[in-house]
Structure 1
Amino acid sequence: MKVIPLPSITPYTKDTEINLRELINTIPDLIWLKDKDGIFLSCNTKFERYIGWKEADIVGKTDYDFVSKELAEIFRKYDQKIMTANHTFVTEQNVTFADDGHQAIMETIKTPQYDIGGNIIGVLGVSRDITKRKKAENLLNKFSLAVEQNPCAIFITDLNAEIEYANAAFSRTAGYSLEEILGLNPRILNCGKTPKETYKELWQTIKNGETWKGELINRRKDGSEYIEFASITPVRGQDEKISHYLAIKEDITARKQFEIEQRIAAIAFESQDGIMITDANNIIIRVNKAFTKITGYESEEMIGRTPSFFEIWKAISRILSKNVAKLFTDVTQLEV
């Protein structure tokens, strides 16, 4: 049998301890070690800054020497829970550094420590500043809410135009749920009425890294058609290469219909016939010039009233024709 010699093990020396200490002190995280009774055994430079004391003054003391009794008791119960459960725990908390007073959000990992025999001898704590990460997460969360709650339909596709995300407004406008639309191409909305040249221009624009804006005529899941104003923008990754496309679309069907009606009304209002328009409550909202000539009233006198206004003044005219002055005075006091 061939005997394979074991590799030599470098003995633990003072230099090893110094190197290890330097290594721990260069770590930007807070590091500390307590025994089973909560007494500090060691800590690094970053922890010194947090407590505001040097390690020589921290070792041999407990949390009760540095923080309020209430907070120290919370730390103590937490450490006991870790040792009892024999499990690592992670928490987040806001802390204030004693050396300069700055505040930070720290992610703390506490884990049981064992001796060679596997017996728990204390708790090791490592705390990392996650302030920037939390701010980024909060910003991302705000952005997510803004997109999800945006009244415009928003969706994101990959380079093959397969939908990876769509917000609630998209579902309301197009009639498709997120589950139905994921992985599909937006062409399922095409009703065939948007000119092919429009789509050609769209793709040429976004593939060149530019934003395309224009109108599209699409079809909902229920078959009804709608007009939308779309803004489609390439999304670039950290390498500046296009990785996705972002589409923001606004349903302008009602606005387009209103514009058509306005154009028709503008033409009609040039008519020599008197034209009056009322709303659903029978309130006059517009009259043309011919109508003012026929009735003798300015538009400002009629807008906001009901057509019964004219019936009252017809009655007044008949009364005046009979020269009944008293009745004229009474009727003109009526509210119209």
Structure 2
Amino acid sequence: MKFLSNEDVEAIVAERITELTQQNQQLQQQLLESRRAEHILRENERLFLETQKLAKLGSWEFNPFTQQIKWSEEACKIIGINSHDLPPPSLNEYLDLVHLEDVPLLLNCLKQAVTEGVAYEIEIHHRYPDGSYNDTLMKAQPFFAGQRVIKLLGIMLDITERRQTEDELRKLSRAIEQSAGTIFITNVRGQIEFVNPAFSEITGYSSEEVIGNNPNMLNSGKNPPEVFKVLWETLHRGEVWQGELLNRRKNGELYWEFTRISPVKNKEGKVTHYVATKEDITRRKQAEAQLEKNNAELRAKNVELEVLNQKLADIQKAKLYQLNKAYERFVPHQFLSLLGKKSILEVQLGDQVEKEMTILFSDIRGFATISEDMTPQENFDFINAYLGQMEPIINEYGGFIDKYIGDAIMALFPLADDAVQSSIAMLKRLREYNQLLQMAGFHPIKIGIGLHTGPLMLGTVGGQNRMDGTVIADAVNLASRVENLTKIYNTPLLMTMQTYRHLLRSSHYKIRVIDTVKIKGKSKEVTVYEVFDADTPATIELKLETLKVFKQGLDFYHCDDFKDACSSFEEVLRINEHDEVARIYLKRCQE
């Protein structure tokens, strides 16, 4: 036996190590390439699934030996099952999801594909859990091992929307073809691309004669140029134009059409075509012309009768108008309207109606003193001049004067806001009127206005020979009591909480609570508000500035905390020394 030297052993080991290293590198390279291929395969599968989702295309694989079907996620959505359910439905389970009438067709195609290797493409319907059905396009391709089909690979596509769209298009096409009116379509250059059969019947032109031409070939030349100018301006704005046109048929005969032209826009909103629908209205226009001729003759024959009737009506109307105007000075027309009467002649004793209205009471402060130095005639002249300033304002704001009580006014308003605005306007007019009085040597006057809203009865009372329109309600007495409170609080305009609650725009006014008082004749206390919009701008600003402190003082006062109430009202008077209401409350607290 020959022994190897150490050098020979080392050489053999080194050679073997080199071989193993090379084999190891080759294995690592193969492993890396395998991982790369696996990664590419997974990425391709992911892209394939994403592509299916984007295309809403499902895929499936049928094993004829196990009768099992593998479904892609998108295919599960199409047939209405959960892709996470395990195991996936078998062939028999799947057939339960197919419309009963489609099962024989599907089974026959599967049989031919498996036994004869015949590919197929069919449309079937799948039933969803809610009982509805979809339209599905299915394709299948057999795969062989030798002469034997080992599996079927297929795709499916939900074509429900496409079928619905096709059905709608078929309906639309049928409607257009069967329409008795003319329909044609042009491109944006005005060239005709389509006409329906009615177009040829009405115009006499065949579709071959008009396709590619402009609809101007129908123009009779008798339409005003302005019509087409407006037509194109309307269409260029992307709007629908409609109107009547006098056109000419192929045989030269004139005919009338009612035309409606609509722009057709693409997804980007750009106009691509125009659709015109037209109705032959020649007979209608002829009938209208004949009717107009007959009407003209009839009008001519009736002129004399109309003139005579008008003269008689004018005489009667003038007499009735004069009568009503005369009575309106005593009975307002609004009063008649509320009773449902058009004329004073219709009013009967006992006519009445119940309404919820706002009552306005106003009175001149200290008029008895003012009138002492006047003669009876001067008294009447003075009162009438003042009332002449106030009456138009009440009428302007939708109210009417129920009665004058000396220098006092009682007026009614259907809306509380109108009553408040009228009161503010009256006070502002009074400020202007006082300037005229002073220029004439008279002292300025002050008025108080009270407002209350509530139910009342309007009607007529009296006897057969003498009756009067009047208002009966507790609300009237309460409005009068509130007007009297303006003298106590030395403020021109007060209203009750009932009126405040009926305001539609209470935030538009300058309002503050004045007191909660028990008025004579009323068992419940009444909250009274001051409206100070008619004050001078400086006074309004000061009252708004002290509004919060004034309210605090009022709260302290009604809680019998007179010390803190005094402090609050003193703070109000420090800022606004002319606040008479705060001064009254301060005096009450000190007493």
Q: TM class, shorter-chain normalised?
A: 0.5 to 0.7
Q: Tell me the secondary structure at the aligned position of residue 77 of structure 1.
A: helix
- 2:197 maps to which of 153, 168, 175: 168
Are residues 1:20 and 2:73 paired? no
Give the aligned partner of residue 107 of structure 1. 136
Are residues 1:200 and 2:229 paired? yes
Give the aligned partner of residue 126 of structure 2. 95
Are residues 1:34 and 2:65 paired? no
1:50-129 correspondence to structure 2 within 5 Å: 50=79, 57-58=87-88, 61-63=90-92, 66-67=95-96, 74-82=105-113, 88-97=119-128, 100-101=129-130, 103-115=132-144, 120-129=149-158
Distance change >3 Å, CA 89–CA 65, structure 1 → 2: closer
Give the aligned partner of residue 23 of structure 2. none
Deviation at 1:119, TM superposition (A): 6.6
Deviation at 1:250, TM superposition (A): 1.5
CA distance in 2, matches of 1:242, 1:135: 25
After superposition, the CA RMSD in angstroms is 3.8
- 2:72 maps to which of 36, 44, 60: 44
1:237-276 correspondence to structure 2 within 5 Å: 237-269=266-298
> Bigger CA drift: 163-172 or 68-77?
68-77
Bigger CA radius of gyration:
2
| Letter in structure 2 aligned against 1:76 | L
Unpaired runs of 5+ residues, structure 1, are: 1-7, 273-288, 290-336
| Letter in structure 2 aligned against 1:148 | E
CA distance in 1, matches of 2:155, 2:170: 27
CA distance in 1, matches of 2:186, 2:41: 55
Distance change >3 Å, CA 37–CA 219, structure 1 → 2: farther
Conserved? CA contact 2:260–2:278, under 8 Å: yes
Give the aligned partner of residue 219 of structure 1. 248
Distance change >3 Å, CA 86–CA 217, structure 1 → 2: farther
- TM (norm. structure 2) is 0.39
Deviation at 1:232, TM superposition (A): 1.9
| Letter in structure 1 aligned against 2:240 | T
Deviation at 1:163, TM superposition (A): 0.7
Give the aligned partner of residue 257 of structure 2. 228
1:124-203 correspondence to structure 2 within 5 Å: 124-203=153-232
Give the aligned partner of residue 375 of structure 2. none
CA distance in 1, matches of 2:176, 2:159: 25
Distance change >3 Å, CA 222–CA 84, structure 1 → 2: farther
Distance change >3 Å, CA 152–CA 124, structure 1 → 2: same
- TM (norm. structure 1) is 0.64
CA distance in 2, matches of 1:73, 1:247: 48
**Higher RCO (CA 8 Å, separation ≥ 6 residues):** 1
CA distance in 2, matches of 1:62, 1:141: 36
Deviation at 1:120, TM superposition (A): 4.3
Q: Tell me the secondary structure at the aligned position of residue 183 of structure 2.
A: strand
Q: Tell me the secondary structure at the aligned position of residue 259 of structure 1.
A: helix
Conserved? CA contact 2:59–2:72, under 8 Å: yes
Deviation at 1:55, TM superposition (A): 7.0
Unpaired runs of 5+ residues, structure 2, are: 1-32, 306-591
Deviations 1:272-315 (A, max 9, x none): 7xxxxxxxxxxxxxxxx9xxxxxxxxxxxxxxxxxxxxxxxxxx
The structure with the largest helix share of the pair is 2
Deviation at 1:253, TM superposition (A): 0.8
| Letter in structure 2 aligned against 1:31 | S
Q: How many residues align?
A: 264
CA distance in 1, matches of 2:122, 2:94: 22
